[in-house]
Structures are given as structure tokens and as C-alpha cells.
Amino acid sequence: MPIEYELLRREPYAIEKCPKCGKLSPEFMLGQVQRSKRFLWILWHRPYCAVICHECKKIIGWESPPK
């Protein structure tokens, strides 16, 4: 398990209701699907852990662990 899983596990859900399927569902694969932290290969940091709906299995947003 990535360290982001442990950091995000104790945080409240980033998105409570899925905008694609409309179900109230907890996050799926918390902190395990990630993208690059940098945008356009510069020092701009962006949220990098995917928020995935447990019902429809689609990426519905991005979040970062707390610092």
C-alpha cells in the first residue's frame, strides 16, 4: 500500500455524492491511483490521488493528502 492510503484513510471523503451516477458512496482504491504531482513539468503542484466512485468505478475528482 502506498503511504497516501494511510494519510487519506483518516480524512473525510473528498466528494460525498458521485456526479456521474448520483449515488452516495465512499471512495474506492483510496490513494492507490495517482498521477504526476507536477503540471506541465514545472513546479506547479496539483492534487494527484484519484477519487474513484465505489459504485460506477469512474474517476470523479482528485485530492492530495494533508501535509
- In angstroms, the CA 57 to CA 63 distance is 16
Q: pLDDT by residue (tens digit) across 2-55? A: 888 888 888 888 778 888 888 887 778 888 888 887 766 666 778 888 999 888
DSSP 8-class letter at 27: E
Q: What per-residue confidence (pLDDT) applies to 47?
A: 87
Domains of the chain, residue spans? 3-63
Q: Could you tell me the pTM of the whole model?
A: 0.77
DSSP 8-class letter at 29: S
- In angstroms, the CA 59 to CA 52 distance is 4
Query: From its phi and psi, is residue 18 left (phi > 0), alpha (psi between -120 and 50) or beta?
Result: beta
Q: What per-residue confidence (pLDDT) applies to 13?
A: 80
